[in-house]
Structures are given as C-alpha cells and as structure tokens.
Structure 1
Amino acid sequence: MAKSKGMNAVEAYLVAYNAASFAGWAYVLAQTVMYLSEHGTNLNGLFDRIGYALIYVQTGAILEVVHSLLGLVRSGALTALLQVYSRLLLVWGTLYPFDTPEIRASPALVLMVLAWSITECVRYSHYALGILNIEVYALLYLRYTLFYVLYPVGVTGELLEMWAALPYAAAIHPALKAFLLFNMSGYPPVLYKLYTHMIYQRRKVLGSGATNPKAAQASVDAGGAKKKRL
C-alpha cells in the first residue's frame, strides 16, 4: 500500500542513496550467483568477477557515517561507524591487498558475499521504499528474520577470511597480524550484542510474528530525513 507524500531534498537524496546501494549489492549478488551456476566449486575467477564491485559498493557505506554526523538520519555516528568498520577491514585489509587463492578463491568469500549482499538488498530496498512511504510487509519481515541465518553465515565467512590472511599479514609486519587477531577476538561479543539486539527489534516490530500493519507502518515512519536509519 502506498501513500502519497511530498519529499524534501534530504529525503530525495536518501532515496537515491539507498536505491543506488541496492543496485550495487544486487549486481554483486547476481554476478556471484551466475558465477557459481557457471563454475560450481571452481572459485578461481570469482574475485575477478565481483571483487572490485564488492569493494566499491561496500566503501560507499562510509556515507552512512556522514549521514549520521550531519543529522540526516536517526542512527548515531558511532553506531554507524562500528557497523561499517568491520566490513571495510575485510575488503581493504584482506581482499584488496592479498591476491591469493586462500583469500580470493575460498568458500569463505562465498559465504561472506552471499550473506552481505542478501542482507543489503533487503535493507536498502526496505529503507528506500520506507522513505517513499510504500509499505511492503514481505521486506519488513525479511529485514527482521533473515539475520537468524545470515548473521552467523556472514561472520563465519569474515573470520575465515581474516584467518587465511594472517600469515600474509605477518609477512608484512607482525603488528598487522596482531591487529587482525585483535579484531577477530572482538567478534563473539559483538555478534552476541547484534544478535540479541535484532531479536529484540524483531519482537518489537513484528510482535508475535503475525502480519502487523501497525508495526509495519511504525517501521516505515521511522524512515526519512532524521527518521530513517540507513
């Protein structure tokens, strides 16, 4: 169900940002699925197919921190930074510098990319439509349900990628290896915090799990300039 409403410049920009981010992640997801259907378990060419698109679209998420700092969205800058930081570490700290099969042609990369891209396709489309005041309950449901599977899948891929990067990081400098290990050690408490937070949000938004138009509208109303968390 859609409700007409005028948009100001900030809302128009946020719609464009979310739509562009959705398009980028949809491209990464489609290319990954097509590559796997064509080559099966031979992952030697996967990074060549999606690697730089993945790096660019994920780097674009830095704008979410900027949005928070400028007060365009409701989420705090620190929260946005923490959410973006770990992925930037993966794309710029492992995938980009280390051109090795253990990192760029591993099942861990597949796990990570599929979890990220599916999550972001749902998230960005939900946010863009929310700013337009278009209610799509299926997207709302997926936004607050897929994390049960995608969070552990994505984290597993991320940790395996960093683990594979450790010997190459150590060859550059022991401090770089220590830095990666330090970040890996923070995953369990952060995952627990995010997981329990999303469970709480799911109960808050979806209630008992039945279709809840009021909850769906409340989620949509959370969007827009100074309302919508990107």
Structure 2
Amino acid sequence: MAQSNSVVNAYLVAYNAASFVGWTYILVQTVLYLLENGTDLSGLFSAIGFPLIYVQTGAALEVLHSLVGIVRSSPMTVLMQVYSRLLLVWGTLYVFDYPEIRASPALVLMVLAWSITECVRYSHYALSLMGIEVYALLYLRYTMFYVLYPAGVSGELLEMWAALPHAAAIRPAFKGFLLLNMINYPPVLYKLYTHMMRQRRKVLGGVAASSDAAASKKKL
C-alpha cells in the first residue's frame, strides 16, 4: 500500500509540474508577444494557440483523477471547470479562424487569467505533494480568484459571443449550443466562486488559527 501511494504521489507531482511548465510557457509567450507587438494581436494565436489547446486538453485528466479518488476534489466541480475550457479551446478557438476570435482582446484577457491562475495552482500543488509549503502560493491560490475568475469568464463569454455568427453559418444548432452554454455561465460561476470562497475560509482561516495557537504557546 505504501509503495502504491508513493507511485501515485510521484505521478501527481510529475503531472502538476508538467502542467506548471506548460502554463508558464503560455504565460511567458503571451507577455512577450504583447511587449513586442502591443495592440497588434494578429499573430497571437500563432504564438500560443496550439500550446494552449494541448495544455488545456491535458487538464481533462483531472476529471479522471477525481473520479478514481487519487485527489479529493469533487468530480462535478472539476468537470464544470474543465468542460467550459475545453469548449473554448476546441469549440471556438480551434474551429473558427477569424480575427475577432483568434486576435481579440478577449483572448488576451482569457489567456492571462487562465495562465496566471494555473501557474500558481499547479506550482502550489506540486510543492505541497513534495512536502514543501509556500504560504505566498497558498495565499495567492485562494485569493486571486476574486479577480481572475470574473476576468477569465468575461474573456470566455466574449469569445463565444464572437463565435456565434460563424457557428450559425456552420449549423444553427451549433449556435444554439453555444448560446445555451453562455446562459449556463452565471449559475456555474456562482457555484465555483462560492466554492472557492468556502475553501479560502477553510484553508486560510485554518492557517491563521494555527499561527495564533503557536503564538499563544510561545507566550505561555
């Protein structure tokens, strides 16, 4: 059993480390592109598009991780997060080669929100699995979502909105499918947002309580 646990732990460390590297690459490439090209976003997708699609698709493994129980995350919560992003990368960015989708400020907003979030999340998880706790990462993990969740969702909705006319040209049902997903965003965002707020109180509140207890013991 101990050997099995060590294998699972090693796999999760490798998965989180690889995901961190992938998202760091996307973040760095995005920032470098913006610094070099400013508001000219015509080549942004060429710079980051397919790495973004592949790295985000790899996150589908997280649904499997939660289903088989090697992580404690709720399968439904993970599925909601992964599904919406896969819809964006495959159902919008991959399908539609139009500047209003692949060269838009919405794409920049979405990618920056995603990549910053994931760089912190995956580095925090990888280090925690190795027994290394970095409070700064823990704090950022459970604080940045206040800004990055709404920013990412705004980018996602704007991307899907831009895709609607092109989806209708392929098949009206495709447009209806995207619209249905857009309508579903507010309740899903509320569920994920409140989940993170509860997690923040649980995790950061627990850290604060532990620190206070330790300080009290020292005084005694």
Letter in 2 for 1:44: S
Summarize deviations over 1:106-164 as a string: whole Å, max 9, x none: 00000000000000000000001111110100000000110011011000000000000
The equivalent of 2:51 in structure 1 is 53
Which stretches in structure 2 are left out of the alignment for 5+ residues? Answer: 212-220
Q: Establish whether residue 74 from structure 1 lines up as the match of residue 72 from structure 2.
A: yes
**Letter aligned with residue 129 of structure 2:** I
Higher RCO, 1 vs 2 (CA within 8 Å, ≥6 residues apart): 1
Name the count of aligned residue pairs.
207
Deviations 1:73-124 (A, max 9, x none): 1123332222100000000000001000000000000000000000000000
Structure 1 position 38 matched with structure 2 position 36: yes
| In structure 2, C-alpha distance between the alignment counterparts of 1:139 and 1:53, rounded to whole Å | 24
Query: Which whole-Å CA distance do the structure 1 matches of 2:121 and 2:153 have between them?
Result: 18
Larger Rg: 2
Unpaired runs of 5+ residues, structure 1, are 1-6, 216-230
Structure with the larger helix share:
2
The residue number in structure 2 matching 1:109 is 107
- For the residue of structure 2 that corresponds to 1:34, the secondary structure is helix
Aligned identity (percent) is: 76
Report the AA paired with residue 41 of structure 2: L
Change (3 A) 1:78 1:192: closer
2:151 corresponds to: 153
Take 2:209 and 2:93, find their aligned partners in 1: how far apart are those partners? 42
Q: 1:162 aligns with which of 157, 160, 163?
A: 160
Q: Which residue of 1 aligns with 2:133?
A: 135
CA RMSD of superposed structures (Å): 1.5
* Alpha-carbon distance between aligned partners in 1 of 2:41 and 2:6, rounded to the nearest angstrom: 45
Alignment partner of 1:121 is 2:116: no
Of 12, 15, 18, the residue aligned with 1:14 is 12
- Contact 2:77 / 2:192 at 8 angstroms: preserved in 1? no
The Cα shift of 1:180 comes to 0.2
What is the alpha-carbon distance in structure 2 between the residues aligned to residue 199 and residue 33 of structure 1? 29
Is the counterpart of residue 212 in structure 1 residue 208 in structure 2? yes
